[in-house]
Chains A and B, each alone.
Chain A
């Protein structure tokens, strides 16, 4: 029997995923564990591996299609096996179970996510409200009820709503074309599709629209590129707004004399490189110092969840990593208990995964404090935005030689600015200042880290 391949549910809030690319063509042999396609969720891009071996018999969706969770995307089976022409809808329970087993690590509680209603229809995180009749019609026609707009109380889907949806769906159209048609009030059934199998694509809708908007002026202005706020960009946008709107940010700054850290790094560099193959950077030393200091400042190593402040036992430091058109925060766990060599290895590897967009969801969860280092740029200090539900974040500026006064004489020292933003709901100025002061002391006497 052919095995279903479906859109995996990678987090408790995931409703749809965007199919980014196929690695296999119909007819290609597939091994268990081999990546077959890549998807993008609102949090992550991930390669989906095959759970079965066989031949990729069918692909129902193309790149850039948005596919609801558990929707059947294709089939793997024996050569010549017959599979439906259209995606039969939601995968059967059994395989859903398999999926959740496979993905159990990632479906566990997620701190990351802002509830994210994407694309069309009722995609709230709750069970769809629908009458039995609506469910029957949806079942018979392979309609995902989550995509149907219900007109009843609290969005309850009635039979007629499903029938209307089906009517609208008789026209095959890309999600973009649908959205555009909806926004512009174009009846998709009147649009001639030029895509695969008569599928209506965006340009078809645009060409219908053109006569309706006659070109008034002939001088062509260069048009700005427009990119929809979606995927990771949307998550970042939502989370930044949420953090700024809920947490009263206060930022403290201090200058740290990095002379001894520089010495320490210079002497550890060859040792660690020999041991791990990686070159220890200031970031790892700062993270180590932060971890050490956090163990003595529980108030800063806390999370504000609901109406409770949770004083975390573990010290897990998130490391803000710039990626193409975005930002990810992979997590280094238990940094207070790790030596610099293993921290270096871990930080390098996880940053690489982040830049390649290959982080697993659990590698982005559970941080209790975040470090954002802009020291590689000409930045002295800044006001970082707290990575909620954490209550504080450390911004790291560049190290620059500056004249400072030491014992009444002006000397040149490598100085670095640290900026600590904290959530004033959870921490007050004094304990935050104590933490930052101690961090400065530790960095100025880094041999303490070796103790």
Chain B
């Protein structure tokens, strides 16, 4: 069973593939501390909508890191 990846700010359990993919895209492939979508938006001073839109753009571009 795959190890759960949790948000290191709020503790949200089992981050989705999209959340993990976005952390890797926006922080770096080697990111150690993951954020959930809301905490990442807060940290980057962006809205959740902006991040969701970006996830869709990555998917449209063919990136396989997202679900």
Q: Do A and B bind each other?
A: no
A interface residues with partner B (beta carbon < 8 Å)? none
